[in-house]
């Protein structure tokens, strides 16, 4: 009976795992098929070809898109992590009048749907002449982000105070205490923040849709949407091109996951329990 249950559990898990992984395999396989065989649903292509990859490379400034995305993503992740950690430390370590109220405001901003600020924020960047550049995609991160501040503060709050007080008596200033002691101690949370923001910035479509006009400034997801509109819907129905570009857009995220798997899983589990 117990054995039967074990086998059933295992069979069910395997079936679901196949269902979750199969779309990746299907997509990857399609990217190596000629146009006429894309929808034949064979796992291994009957005719194996690299033509789609060459064609995507010729049709789209893919290297440029990759570079733009990498730039935006790196700037977004690094700035948001540094500033959010600073702010989180400010809220976690110091005691000052109005701390609770200010933190309440911070939590309240997380409840505000992005749609409310979307138009006025666009108008700010527009008045600065930045629409059409990559700046609006990351520069807001210079000011930290409520979600990460919350996450990092939780972590900082878990640290014992005594070592910091001792360092202070030894003459260390606040900045040294933050960068040399607090930050290294909460490395896992810092890594989680970097990974989460890297993923968020890499996969974002809405902001590139709002702010980017010229194809040479596109990020990879924005470029993928353009390729879909051109080759998918544009009367040509070259789905093999669109699928190949989808593979290229997705692979960096898969690599990112395997590089930081433990941190991703832990980070997400914490988000849920702290909610």
Partner 1 sequence: MRFIETRAALLFISPWILGFLIFTAWPVINSAYLSLTDYDVINDPSFIGFDNYVTLFQDPKVGLALRNTFLFTVMSVPTQLVVSLGLALLLNSATKATGFFRTAFFLPKMTPPVAVGILLLMLFNGQNGLINSFLGVFGIDGPAWTTDPDWVKPGLVLMSLWTVGSSVVIILAALRGVPQELYDSALVDGAGWWKRTLRITVPMISPTLFFLFIVDSINALQSFTEAYTAFFGAGNTTYSNDAALFYAIYLFQQAFEFLHMGYASALAWLLFIVIMAITGVQILVTRRFVHYEGGNS
| Interacting positions 79-118 with partner 1 (CB under 8 A) | 83, 86-87, 89-91, 93-97, 99, 102, 105-106, 109, 111-118
Among 178, 190, 192, 238, binds partner 1 (CB under 8 A): 178
Using CB under 8 A as the binding rule, whether residue 176 contacts partner 1 is answered as no
Using CB under 8 A as the binding rule, whether residue 126 contacts partner 1 is answered as yes
User: How many whole angstroms separate alpha carbon 124 and alpha carbon 120?
Assistant: 6
Among 70, 154, 185, 239, binds partner 1 (CB under 8 A): 239
Interface positions, 5-34, toward partner 1 (CB under 8 A): 5-6, 9-10, 12-13, 16-17, 20-24, 26-27, 30
Nearer residue to partner 1 within complex by CB, 51 or 239 = 239
Nearer residue to partner 1 within complex by CB, 134 or 141 = 141
Contacts with partner 1 by CB under 8 A: the residue count is 96
81, 148 in Cβ contact below 8 A?
Answer: yes
Using CB under 8 A as the binding rule, whether residue 259 contacts partner 1 is answered as no
User: How many whole angstroms separate alpha carbon 80 and alpha carbon 143?
Assistant: 7
| Residue 223: both structure tokens together | 């470029």
What does 10-22 look like in DSSP terms, one character per residue? Answer: HHHHHHHHHHHHH
Helix (H, G, I), strand (E, B) or coil at 176: helix
- Shortest distance, position 227 Cβ to partner 1, whole Å: 9
| Residue 163: both structure tokens together | 């070592």
**CA end-to-end distance (rounded Å), the chain:** 39
Among 7, 107, 124, 128, binds partner 1 (CB under 8 A): 124
- Shortest distance, position 5 Cβ to partner 1, whole Å: 8
184, 232 in Cβ contact below 8 A?
Answer: no
Interface positions, 216-235, toward partner 1 (CB under 8 A): 220-221, 224-226, 228-230, 232-235
User: How many whole angstroms separate alpha carbon 136 and alpha carbon 198?
Assistant: 16
CA distances (Å), origin 76, targets 13, 57, 242:
37, 27, 27
246, 158 in Cβ contact below 8 A?
Answer: no
Interface positions, 127-156, toward partner 1 (CB under 8 A): 140, 142-144, 146, 149
Using CB under 8 A as the binding rule, whether residue 167 contacts partner 1 is answered as no
Helix (H, G, I), strand (E, B) or coil at 236: coil
Interface positions, 197-216, toward partner 1 (CB under 8 A): 199, 202-203, 205-206, 209-210
């Amino acid at each position: 009976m117990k054995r039967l249950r074990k086998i059933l559990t295992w069979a069910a898990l395997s079936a679901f795992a196949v269902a979750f992984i199969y779309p990746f395999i299907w997509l990857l396989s399609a990217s190596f098929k000629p146009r006429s065989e894309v929808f034949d649903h064979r796992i291994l292509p009957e005719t194996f070809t690299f033509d789609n990859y060459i064609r995507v490379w010729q049709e789209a400034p893919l290297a440029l898109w990759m570079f733009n995305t990498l730039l935006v993503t790196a700037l977004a992740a690094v700035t948001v992590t540094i500033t959010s950690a600073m702010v989180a430390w400010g809220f976690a370590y110091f005691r000052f009048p109005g701390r609770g109220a200010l933190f309440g405001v911070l939590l309240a901003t997380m409840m505000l749907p992005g749609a409310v600020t979307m138009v006025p924020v666009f108008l700010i960047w527009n008045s600065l002449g930045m629409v059409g550049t990559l700046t609006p995609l990351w520069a807001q991160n210079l000011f930290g982000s409520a979600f990460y501040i919350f996450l990092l503060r939780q972590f900082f709050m878990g640290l014992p105070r005594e070592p910091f007080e001792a360092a202070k008596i030894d003459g260390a200033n606040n900045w040294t205490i933050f960068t040399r002691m607090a930050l290294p101690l909460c490395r896992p949370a810092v890594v989680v923040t970097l990974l989460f923001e890297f993923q968020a910035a890499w996969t974002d479509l809405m902001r590139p849709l709002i702010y980017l006009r010229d194809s040479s400034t596109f990020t990879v997801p924005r470029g993928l949407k353009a390729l879909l509109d051109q080759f998918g819907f544009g009367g040509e129905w070259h789905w093999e091109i669109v699928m190949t570009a989808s593979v290229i857009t997705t692979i960096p995220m898969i690599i990112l996951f395997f590089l930081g798997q433990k941190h991703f899983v832990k980070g997400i589990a914490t988000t849920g329990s702290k909610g």
